[in-house]
């Protein structure tokens, strides 16, 4: 019996796009974001009132939360929140480290997940798009931080998100394909994945990536859900699929250096023995694993190897 796919979540925050050009961002409570990190305390995202906020290099309108407006703030000081001086206990934490905890806290965690991934994604975009792609002139943030406008030609540039597909593949015995990418740390295994190319549907990207990386043809393809993945600018689009001919597995060896089909009892033993390290809790890859497995995967022994 498969567990229900759990990503069909309604938005927990009203993005209120119509308010982006109206709200004075300096009066908003704000979450602090910089370099893919978010200000957090005990795993929870911290919201600072205006009087508690550090000097800002950039502010971005996040939306309406109940009866107040929320913003993201990029501090001027690159070292802000590196230690607990001044704002006891609060630290800048990598978004990946925070993901697992979000999903354990129900609606509150889903709300924080939405705010944090949005803030990190759009702050990443600002950090990497300082100039006009057409004329090279500097761009300036406008519309509550959701547009950058070219000072020379007046063109508006919008945040971009790069879709990537990820697919859980099973064989006729319902064993799951686990693959190791050549550039990953030893023992790390996951599903096949790759970026969608211009002109492709998501489904075509799945068939192409799987064929390129594994030689496999897919007999069935089913959409599962998606998850924003701002590392630095993606959304992961998740599928599951079957192959009738697992014996056709041929690795390209440039991208995927190892892959095999594993049964459920086998995967549990591999985890407990520390022979495979799987995607962390909070990632879409982990949800796909547990969807196939039929529940929570065992945790590796604490003295076992760790992903480095």
Q: State yes or no: residue 178 binds Zn ion (CB under 5 A).
A: no
Helices (H), 129-259: 202-214
Q: Which residues contact 122 (CB under 8 A, 6 or more apart)?
A: 60, 72, 145, 146, 159
Contact residue for Zn ion among 30, 45, 150, 193 (CB under 5 A): 150
Choice between 93 and 148, CB closer to Zn ion? 148
Shortest distance (Å) from residue 140 CB to Zn ion: 11
Contact residue for Zn ion among 77, 108, 137, 162 (CB under 5 A): 137
Q: How far apart are CA 60 and CA 62, in angstroms?
A: 6
Q: How far apart are CA 285 and CA 296, in angstroms?
A: 13
Beta-sheet strands, E only, within the chain: 29-34, 37-41, 44-45, 56-65, 68-75, 91-94, 139-142, 147-150, 156-157, 162-170, 176-181, 192-195, 220-229, 234-242, 256-262
Calculate the alpha carbon distances from 50 to 24, 47, 84 in Å: 11, 10, 19
Choice between 155 and 281, CB closer to Zn ion? 155
Q: State yes or no: residue 153 binds Zn ion (CB under 5 A).
A: yes
* Contact region with Zn ion (CB under 5 A), list: 28-36, 142-150, 162-170, 211-219: 142-150
Shortest distance (Å) from residue 151 CB to Zn ion: 8
Calculate the alpha carbon distances from 62 to 154, 189, 282 in Å: 24, 35, 22
Q: What is the DSSP string of 52-70?
A: GPPPEEEEEEEEEETTEEE
* Contact region with Zn ion (CB under 5 A), list: 6-14, 21-29, 32-40, 126-134: 126-134
Q: How far apart are CA 34 and CA 119, in angstroms?
A: 9
Which residues lie across from 59 on neighbouring strands?
Answer: 73
* Contact region with Zn ion (CB under 5 A), list: 148-156, 183-191, 212-220, 237-245: 148-156
Size of the site for Zn ion (CB under 5 A): 7
* Contact region with Zn ion (CB under 5 A), list: 26-34, 43-51, 76-84, 128-136: 128-136
Q: State yes or no: residue 138 binds Zn ion (CB under 5 A).
A: no
Shortest distance (Å) from residue 136 CB to Zn ion: 7
Shortest distance (Å) from residue 153 CB to Zn ion: 4
* Contact region with Zn ion (CB under 5 A), list: 40-48, 56-64, 149-157, 181-189: 149-157
- The 3-state DSSP class for residue 48 equals strand
Choice between 3 and 142, CB closer to Zn ion? 142
Choice between 153 and 252, CB closer to Zn ion? 153
Shortest distance (Å) from residue 149 CB to Zn ion: 9
Helices (H), the chain: 95-102, 106-128, 202-214, 264-272, 284-293
Q: State yes or no: residue 148 binds Zn ion (CB under 5 A).
A: no
Q: What residue ranges bind Zn ion (CB under 5 A)? A: 132, 134-135, 137, 150, 152-153
């Amino acid at each position: 019996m498969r567990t229900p796919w759990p990503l069909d979540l309604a938005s927990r925050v009203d993005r209120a796009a119509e308010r982006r050009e109206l709200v004075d961002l300096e009066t908003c409570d704000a979450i602090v974001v910089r370099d893919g990190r978010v200000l957090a305390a005990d795993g929870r995202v911290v919201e600072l009132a205006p009087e508690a906020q550090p000097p800002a290099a950039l502010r971005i309108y996040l939306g309406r939360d109940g009866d107040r407006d929320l913003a993201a703030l990029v501090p001027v000081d690159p070292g802000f929140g590196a230690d607990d001086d001044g704002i006891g206990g609060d630290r800048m934490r990598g978004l990946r480290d925070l993901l697992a905890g979000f999903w354990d806290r129900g609606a509150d965690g889903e709300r924080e997940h939405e705010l944090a991934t949005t803030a990190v994604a759009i702050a990443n975009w600002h950090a990497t798009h300082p100039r006009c792609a057409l004329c090279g002139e500097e761009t300036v943030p406008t519309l509550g931080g959701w547009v950058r406008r070219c000072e020379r030609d007046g063109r508006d540039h919008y945040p971009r998100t790069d879709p990537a597909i990820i697919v859980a593949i099973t064989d006729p015995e319902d064993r799951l394909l686990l693959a190791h990418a050549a550039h990953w740390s030893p023992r790390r295994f996951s599903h096949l994945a790759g970026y969608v190319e211009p002109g492709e549907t998501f489904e075509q990207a799945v068939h192409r990536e799987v064929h390129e990386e594994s030689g496999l043809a897919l007999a069935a393809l089913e959409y599962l859900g998606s998850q924003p993945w701002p590392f630095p600018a993606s959304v992961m689009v998740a599928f599951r699929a079957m192959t009738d001919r697992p014996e056709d597995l041929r690795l390209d060896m440039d991208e995927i250096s190892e892959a095999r089909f594993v049964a459920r009892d086998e995967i549990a033993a591999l985890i407990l023995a520390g022979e495979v390290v799987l995607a962390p809790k909070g990632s879409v890859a982990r949800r796909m694993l547990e969807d196939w497995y039929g529940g929570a995967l065992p945790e590796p022994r604490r003295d076992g190897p760790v992903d480095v």
